[in-house]
Structure 1
Amino acid sequence: MPAVPGTIRPFHPSDLPALYRICLLTGEAGNDASALYRDPDLLGHLYAGPYPVADPGLTFVVVDDLGPVGYIVATADTHRFEQWLEREWWPTLRARYPVREDPRDGTEDHVLVARIHEWATADDTLFDGFPAHMHIDLLPRAQGQGLGRRLVESLAAALRERGIPGLHLGVDSRNEGAIAFYTRVGFTEAARHEWGRTLTLDLT
């Protein structure tokens, strides 16, 4: 039976290819990043795939009658998640993707490969109050319907059940629509960086 448009449900392993696709189609400050990467899986390897593998209970998916159209992925404990990445996730990817030079053809695979080899850990000053972190992406046809808010609410409820006091995220400063959305759902700015901003949400 087709899904009711806008259905939010827990992650199922069969969703993983769709999460990778959505990650790519929203990966350039909210826009389609397909032209930037020769390997369409690279973005997903960093910002989508590890979360439901490490803790599927904190991934929620939006579906319509055509399939998944959005998701929210998260970890309740960023420090422990980073340890898991080093132990379980990065070794295979580092072997698969050797460090490479910039081909100077406009593609950015080399940038993500460098991150795989030298992952920048989160600001540990956030860990006491905001130990969780998340990523959220919606395809254009799912935007403007309140689905992003519902995804954040679903995640927030799951984190509160675990006693997590808050979560944080990073957002590209160019993605003004995302920043406005996060502000509407209760996030506040914690820091600004060369690459963007860190926002936090108090769950207490």
Structure 2
Amino acid sequence: MKIIEYQACYKKQVEHIAMMTSSKAMVDPIHAKFTLAMYADPYLDHGIAYLIEDQGSIYGYILCASNYLSFMSHKKEILNKMPPAYHKRALKEWNIYAKYQEHYPAHLHIDLLKETRGMHLGTQLMQTLIQKLKEEHVEGLMLGVSLENKAAIAFYTKNGFHILEQDEVSVVMGLCLK
């Protein structure tokens, strides 16, 4: 398995992984549209993406918008692709990120299929992305994660992230890159 840069020929496989790693998307087609519109397609269209690839198959990815303000210039396009019932949720999440965008202008989304977990591929994806962001002189990186996802919080902490904000259901974490 190796890390490669995203190519459009892998879009359907990336979208499939986004579905497979979201329990709600697998059972609710409306939530599936939201998942793709919020956490996959905008990054593929307007961001940086690295994939875990082996013999033409994709097993995971890291997606990143390196500049929050530039990414948000596509907000209307993103909202138009998602079910209206999820607009309020998307706006709330974006507003949280807006508070931290000055010092953490990049934000990411990472997913790995279960069979690749524990192989340090997530760390390799993270290191590849961080190196790219440093080359682009990006000051910091942020993300949001459910408080229920203890393994993800431990992974991000191990990779240098710290908590910026926490509420009853989620946490926003940041990593300084300077």
- Using the size of structure 2 for normalisation, the TM-score is 0.89
Task: Determine the structure 2 residue equivalent to 1:44.
Answer: 36
Aligned 8 A contact 1:46 1:116 in 2: no
- 2:73 is aligned, of 79, 83, 101, to 83
Task: Determine the structure 2 residue equivalent to 1:189.
Answer: 163
2-side partners of 1:84 and 1:128: how far apart?
18
User: What are the ranges of 5 or more consecutive residues in structure 2 without an aligned counterpart?
Assistant: none
Q: Does 1:22 align with 2:17?
A: yes
- 2:95 is aligned, of 109, 115, 122, to 122
1:154-176 Cα shifts (integer Å, max 9, x gaps): 11111111110111000001111
Post-superposition, which runs of at least 4 consecutive aligned residues in structure 1 deviate over 3 A? Answer: 39-42
Structure 1 or 2: more strand by fraction: 2
Task: Determine the structure 2 residue equivalent to 1:143.
Answer: 117
- 1:8 is aligned, of 3, 11, 15, to 3
DSSP 3-state at the match of 2:29: coil
Task: Determine the structure 2 residue equivalent to 1:3.
Answer: none
2-side partners of 1:175 and 1:137: how far apart?
13
Aligned 8 A contact 2:25 2:35 in 1: no
Aligned 8 A contact 1:10 1:61 in 2: yes
1-side partners of 2:89 and 2:164: how far apart?
27
2-side partners of 1:128 and 1:46: how far apart?
21
Q: How does 1:45-194 map to 2 (within 5 A)?
A: 45-55=37-47, 58-65=48-55, 67-86=57-76, 88-91=77-80, 93=81, 97=83, 99=84, 113-115=85-87, 119-120=91-92, 121-123=94-96, 124-194=98-168
CA RMSD of aligned residues (A): 2.0
1:83-113 Cα shifts (integer Å, max 9, x gaps): 2222x3333x26xx4x4xxxxxxxxxxxxx4
Q: Which structure has the greater CA radius of gyration?
A: 1
1:116 deviates by: 7.2
Task: Determine the structure 2 residue equivalent to 1:103.
Answer: none
Call closer, same or farther: CA 1:144–1:85 in 2, change over 3 Å. Answer: same
Call closer, same or farther: CA 1:41–1:184 in 2, change over 3 Å. Answer: same
- Using the size of structure 1 for normalisation, the TM-score is 0.79
Structure 1 or 2: more helix by fraction: 2
Q: Percent identity?
A: 26
Which one is further off, 37-46 or 66-75?
37-46
DSSP 3-state at the match of 1:119: helix
